Amino acid sequence: MVRGSERAFRELVRAQSVHLCYLPMIQAAKLVAGEPYEHSLIDVDGEESPVVAQLAGRDADELVAAGRLIQDKVAAIDLNLGCPQICAKRGRYGAFLLEEPDLVVSIVRAMSSALTCPVWCKIRLLETPEATLVFAKQLEEAGCSLLAIHARTRAQLGEGPVDLDTLHAVADALEIPVVANGGFANKTAADKLLDSTPVSAVMFASELLANPRLLTDETPMDDALAVRRAEEYLEYALRYPVPDHRHLEVHLRHILRRTVKNRPELIRWWSLLSRPWMKSPWQYLCMLALMAQARGLPAMDLGARFPDRTPLRTMPELRRPELVANPKNAKVNLKSTMPQNDTSTVLHDDKPNGDTAASAQDT
Ligand SMILES: Cc1cc2nc3c(=O)[nH]c(=O)nc-3n(C[C@H](O)[C@H](O)[C@H](O)COP(=O)(O)O)c2cc1C
């Protein structure tokens, strides 16, 4: 996923029954040009279960060159034929390539004959079920060895009903495995489809982003659980540093969106997510603690969670040490292991635009 599904998130979802994870989308041209961000995405050393790299691009030579850089690290390379975003429109890749089926077929043929790993495709539905079926068969003939289908059209973006009948028809007609994607809210829905159609697997996106433990959680998501999941994600991000701090923002937005919806008292903390100085999981943990407190949820004891770390104080606590002495007055109770004069780790919660506002330690 764009700015998501980095190692921290992958390790978190692997703790449940997720069998295969995609890396964040990789721009083939940037990988070939040696861009550090794209290269950080393909660092999969030490990961135990298989990963799939998804490439975006429209130039067969570039896609093959990018594929050669990663083919030995991954279980497969997937060609992105589903992205409907502005960047894809500008670059004429992703779902916009679906308008050029002959070009796509030639790309898939070039990739599958040049690369040593399997080549997969992820598409959206075309305008009619017949057109989708014909295109899917062409991809199979060109060497695509697994087809993931987001069962919505490009115009639908990520919303609206999914067309499971067309998915079913394509899975019936192809020899290669077909993966269903779009609108799966939980494991029960996925199991139902797997039991009743020839579809081989189900891919989760939005709902898994909203709850990385969606497949094993037995209780429905509520605000306390959302904060817990956000905290867990940040713990993983401390253990597995993210390639770019914007990944933290993307994942927290998805996990906390429903908690913040229609709650003006939380907007202050929510708006911190995109501040340019929010770069470390530590800062996001502080934000989360403040947001949990504003929501009336049990306090997060950051000091106990990370006892070997410099503890955190809010700005009012730093300005008025008596708040720490009297926890009833403190905005967030983070004082347990705090040296009295330590001001090194700060979440500046009252001047959200200041460049010097936050300085938090990271791992
Ligand atoms: C934040 C976000 C990032 C995404 N990035 C990608 C991507 O890089 N490549 C891709 O093929 N699909 C991407 N998608 C689309 C999802 O893979 C999926 O096809 C879509 O969300 C439908 O599944 P869902 O209904 O389970 O969300 C993204 C979706 C979201 C919400």
Residues 206 and 61 in one domain: yes
Place of tokens 């990988």: 31
Q: Which of 15-19, 290-294, 303-307 has the lowest mean pLDDT?
A: 303-307
Question: Which residue is it, tokens 């919660």?
Answer: 349
230 and 332 belong to one structural domain: yes
Mean pLDDT (the chain, rounded)? 87
Quickly state the pLDDT bin for 321 (edges 50, 70, 90): low
Nearest to 317 by CA among 328, 299, 331: 331
> Where residue 324 falls among pLDDT bands split at 50, 70, 90?
low
* Residue 282 three-state SS: helix
Residue with CA nearest ligand 1 atom 26: 205
Position 215 in a domain: no
272: helix, strand or coil: helix
Q: How confident is the model at residue 361 (pLDDT cuts 50, 70, 90)?
A: very low
Question: Based on the domain organization, do 201 and 227 belong to the same domain?
Answer: no
* Residue 260 buriedness (CB in 10 A; 0-12 / 13-18 / 19+): buried
Q: Which two tokens stand for residue 20?
A: 């295969």
120 domain residue, yes or no:
yes
Residues 119 and 71 occupy one common structural domain: yes
Instruction: Judge if 141 and 268 occupy the same domain.
Output: no
Reply yes or no on whether the pLDDT at 342 is more than 80: no
Whole-structure pTM value: 0.84
Give the pLDDT confidence score for residue 18 in this predicted structure: 81
Q: Where does a domain end: 170, 185, 210?
A: 210
Active-site residue, from 21, 83, 117, 286: 83
Catalytic residue status for 144: no
Predicted confidence band at 130 (pLDDT cuts at 50, 70, 90)?
Answer: very high
Q: Judge if 12 and 118 occupy the same domain.
A: yes
Q: What is the pLDDT of residue 243?
A: 95
Structural domain includes residue 353? no
Q: Is residue 187 part of a domain?
A: yes
Instruction: Compute the distance from residue 150 Cα to the ligand 1 centre, in Å.
Output: 9
Look up residue 187 and give its two tokens.
């494991």
CATH number at residue 54: 3.20.20.70
Instruction: Report the Cα–Cα distance between both ends of the chain, in Å, rounded.
Output: 24
Residue ending a domain, choose from 162, 180, 210: 210
Total domain count, the chain: 2
- What mean pLDDT is predicted for residues 180-188? 95
Distance 182 CA to ligand 1 centre (A): 9
Task: Name the domain boundary from 178, 210, 242.
Answer: 210
- Kindly state whether residue 356 falls inside one of the protein's structural domains: no
Residue-wise pLDDT for 227-255, tens only, equals 999 999 999 999 999 999 999 999 999 99
**Which domain covers residue 198, as residue numbers?**
7-210
* Pocket (CB within 6 angstroms of ligand 1): 1-2, 4, 25, 54, 80, 82-83, 122, 150, 158, 181-184, 204-207, 209, 250
Instruction: Tell me: do 130 and 263 sit in the same domain.
Output: no
179 and 44 fall within a common domain? yes
Query: What is the reported pLDDT for 269?
Result: 87
Residue 52 lies in a domain: yes
Q: Which comes out higher in pLDDT, residue 286 or 193? A: 193
Better-scored residue on pLDDT, 112 or 297? 112
If asked whether residues 204 and 227 sit together in one domain, one would say no
* Confidence label for 340 from pLDDT (cuts 50, 70 and 90): very low
Tell me the C-alpha to C-alpha distance, in Å, between residue 123 and each of 93, 135, 170, 296, 335: 12, 10, 12, 43, 51
> What pLDDT score was predicted for residue 8?
96
Considering only CA atoms, which residue is closest to atom 3 of ligand 1? Answer: 1
- Examine the domain organization and report whether 203 and 250 are in the same domain: no
Q: d(Cα 250, Cα 57) in Å, to the nearest integer?
A: 23
The atom number, within ligand 1, closest to the CA of 82 reads 11
Question: Are residues 298 and 321 both part of a single domain?
Answer: yes
CA 119-120-126 angle, to 5 degrees, is 140
Residue at 328 is within a domain: yes
Residue 355 in any domain: the answer is no
Query: Is residue 350 over pLDDT 80?
Result: no
* Interior/surface letters 110-136, b for 16+ CB within 10 angstroms, e for the rest: bbbebbebbbbbbbbbbeebeebbebb
Determine which residue's CA is closest to atom 4 belonging to ligand 1: 1
The answer on pLDDT for 17 being more than 60 is yes
Residues 78 and 126 both lie in one domain: yes
227-256 as b/e, with b when 16 or more CB fall inside 10 Å? bbbbbbbbbbbbebbbbbbbbbbbbbbbbb
Which positions ≥6 away from 185 have C-beta within 8 Å? 207
Residue range 43-53: mean pLDDT, rounded: 92
